[in-house]
Amino acid sequence: VTLQNGLPEPEIAEIVGTNRTMGCVVEWGAALTSPGVCTLTSEVDSLSFHMGKMEGISDERYAEVKALLELMCPVHEESNLIGVRWSKLLINATFSGLGTVMGGTFGSVTGDAFARKVAIRCMKECIDVGHAAGAEFAPVQGKNITSLFYYKNALKRAFAEFLVPIAMKKHRAIEPSMLQDLKHGKPCEIDAINGVVCYWGKRLGVATPINDRVVEIVKKCESGELKPCAENVRFFDDLLA
């Protein structure tokens, strides 16, 4: 059972089989503040797992794993695992990706007017790619994110930008794990987050310029060519012109 970000289950199933593959989406954020010590960076009432399985997993095995995870927090059973994965990927690509670019938290993105404009376009790319891949986006903590944030005109786009700080209020203190990795001189999972959106976009013929740029900037931060900082958000100026 993987709790990894991105869309890992199909690739894992190719190795171990669908009858041995489960997935679990983590609905909260935390930071490793010292060896063996994690600090919750989402509000406590957001603690939950959303778990699903692939073909061939018995109900007994599923219940066994679910019971183990429930020792920590509630586990919601998901029949639409891929839809849950795409919804979480949308959140991670937008707020972890841009938060890493800006060297800050999810709140750094939601609290900056220009970053919110970039974020909404990043969300739209993810939704467009997910729909092209045949995914039905699942609600996130009861919210229909495609209905809230998808737009086809300037008015709906402006409304979506307005909603971003409200929708992400419980998670504004999250520091992206990718940024934590960069701070410790480690490679980060950008290819498994925004990179997945870019990969499927190319494969399905859906343009992903915002996600492409996020990957480019984060890789430059990995190599030391750039440093994560708030000013990096201006690298998206030409894409919003």
Residue pLDDT, tens place only, 13-71: 999 998 999 999 888 888 888 899 988 888 888 888 999 888 888 899 999 999 999 99
Average pLDDT estimate for 178-206 = 94
Q: Can you tell me whether residue 115 is helix, strand or coil?
A: helix
CA distance 106 to 113: 13
User: pTM of the entire structure?
Assistant: 0.84
Residue pLDDT, tens place only, 164-176: 998 888 888 889 9
Residue pLDDT, tens place only, 100-142: 999 999 999 999 999 999 999 999 999 999 999 999 998 877 7
pLDDT of 33 reads: 83
E strand or H helix that includes residue 86:
helix 81-91
At a CB cut-off of 8 Å and minimum separation 6, what does 95 contact? 106, 109, 110, 119, 168, 171, 174, 176
Residue 157 has pLDDT above 90, yes or no: yes
CA distance 76 to 66: 9
Phi and psi angles of residue 191, each rounded to the nearest 5 degrees, phi first: -70, -25
pLDDT of 45 reads: 84
Asked if 213 and 235 touch (Cβ cutoff 8 Å), the reply is: yes
pLDDT of 198 reads: 97
pLDDT of 61 reads: 92
Residue 234 has pLDDT above 90, yes or no: yes
